[in-house]
A and B are shown apart, each in its own frame.
Chain A
């Protein structure tokens, strides 16, 4: 069965700090990988996705993620966070026809 694990439930950073959110998944076959973001008061929206090719994918707002197949990981990174990045971030894995979400990481960025 598919599963997704996000290592940190809450992260607090100061502006300009670097960000890395961990995501590990469990699935035996080919997967598509996603990061979704939910800003306060808004609906879930796609940040970036990986389905094949270059394992380093770039998304909106300066975010990127690296797929490491041997580690079953898809960590999200941003070199320098802004206050506006305060949100909840969800890693998601799509195996056979089903999109499974992790529990989410709440990121708070202080000015």
Chain B
């Protein structure tokens, strides 16, 4: 079974530039997540999709971050403009379904390591 695919693997940009990350979840997985993991911290949920609808984006800095999941399959996360504090690993994860009583595990991609200079 193919895992969660993310690209690029690494990205270095200067502050105020824009950047985009791509994620292709495991086939058939309805729920997709973007997490931000800053060095020394645990992953922080940025946005959660159920199919192509947003379930939770309460921690997404909407003035500079945006995400979409067209057609309910792959997803892109964009930062525009980037700040120094956005340096982190951006993780994409997917799970088969999501609900209040779901205990489904998440399958994570390898992440995109972003360095903002």
Which positions in A face B, CB cutoff 8 Å?
A: 4, 6, 9, 32, 34, 42-46, 49, 51, 90, 92, 94, 96-104
Q: What 0/1 pattern do residues 87 to 106 of B give for CB contact below 8 A with A?
A: 00001010000111001011
Main secondary structure of the interface of B (DSSP, over half): loop
Cα of A42 to Cα of B93 in the assembled complex, Å: 14
- Chain A contacts for B98, CB-based, 8 A: 97
Answer whether residue B14 sits at the interface, using C-beta atoms and an 8 A cutoff.
Answer: no
Cα of A43 to Cα of B113 in the assembled complex, Å: 12
Q: Is the CB of A90 within 8 A of B43?
A: yes
Main secondary structure of the interface of A (DSSP, over half): strand
User: If the complex has contacts A43-B108, A43-B111, A44-B91, are A99 and B45 also in contact, measured as CB distance less than 8 A?
Assistant: yes
Range, interface on chain B: 20 to 34
Answer whether residue B40 sits at the interface, using C-beta atoms and an 8 A cutoff.
Answer: yes
Q: Is the CB of A101 within 8 A of B103?
A: no
- Chain B contacts for A46, CB-based, 8 A: 105-106
Q: Is the CB of B44 within 8 A of A45?
A: no
- Chain B contacts for A100, CB-based, 8 A: 45
Cα of A102 to Cα of B44 in the assembled complex, Å: 9
- A84 nearest CB across to chain B (Å): 20
- A44 nearest CB across to chain B (Å): 4
Q: Is the CB of B42 within 8 A of A98?
A: no
**Given A34-B105, A44-B93, A99-B45, list of 12 further CB < 8 A pairs?**
A42-B110, A43-B91, A43-B108, A43-B110, A44-B91, A44-B108, A45-B108, A49-B103, A90-B43, A101-B35, A103-B40, A103-B42
